Every structure is written in structure tokens, then in C-alpha cells.
Amino acid sequence: KAGVTQTPRYLIKTRGQQVTLSCSPISGHRSVSWYQQTPGQGLQFLFEYFSETQRNKGNFPGRFSGRQFSNSRSEMNVSTLELGDSALYLCASSATDYSYEQYFGPGTRLTVT
């Protein structure tokens, strides 16, 4: 079974731009969660989607949004990028309940200059 894939793997953007990251979950998994990881804060939960619906949300500003498609693939969008948005963005997929077991993708390294 193929693992979780994320594209692109690396991205450089400038302040004020917007960015879209993509995540393809493991086949058959319906839950996709997104995380931001920085050296100072560790892993922080952004949101979780299940069957195209946002089921859970972390404490991030509205500039961070996401969506999930009918094939369970998910995208995350960040608008009006700030320098502090530089981070490793990870997505993870689960069969149903993300709080039990989830599988992480390799991440997208976003650098905002």
C-alpha cells in the first residue's frame, strides 16, 4: 500500500503571497489531518477533515484553510503569508478516527522570505 504523499516537498514564497499544499492519504483512509511543525512550538494541530467535512480545528488564524475532495485528497491553503509561517507542514491520514492511529506524510517545507 502506498503511503501518504505530499506535494510539493519544498516551497519558497514571499510575504503576502498565498500557497496551496496537497496531501494524498493512504488508499481507503477517509480522515486527513494537517499539522504545522516549527522548532520552537513543535507539532501543532491545524485541522482535520473526514469525508469532505472539517471535523476538528486547531487554534490558527483564518488565513489557514483547507478542504477535502471526494477521493479523500486534501489541500491546505495559507493566504497572506507571514515570515512566521515558515515551517514543516505535515499531513496525516487515518482510516476513521484520527485520534487512534494515523500515518504521516513526509511533509512540505515552506520557507517565507
Which position among 21, 90, 110, 112 is part of the footprint of other proteins (CB under 8 A)? 90
Examine residue 97 and tell whether it contacts other proteins (CB under 8 A): yes
3-class DSSP state of 85 = helix
Binding to other proteins (CB under 8 A): which residues in 21-60?
42-45, 55-56
Record the cell numbers describing residue 53, joined without a space: 467535512
Nearest approach, Cβ of residue 27 and other proteins (Å): 17
Residue 19 or 92 with smaller CB distance to other proteins: 92
Record the cell numbers describing residue 21, joined without a space: 499544499
Which position among 21, 98, 110, 112 is part of the footprint of other proteins (CB under 8 A)? 98
Is the peptide bond preceding residue 25 cis, with omega within 30 degrees of 0? Answer: no
Contact 30, 50 (CB under 8 A): yes
Q: Which residue has the cell 494524498?
A: 24
Residue 21 or 92 with smaller CB distance to other proteins: 92
Q: Of 14-22, 60-68, 71-79, 98-106, which segment contacts other proteins by CB under 8 A?
A: 98-106
Contact 65, 77 (CB under 8 A): yes
**Distance, CA of 63 to CA of 112 (rounded, Å):** 15
What does the binding site for other proteins look like in residue numbers (CB under 8 A)? Answer: 4, 42-45, 55-56, 88, 90, 92, 97-107, 109
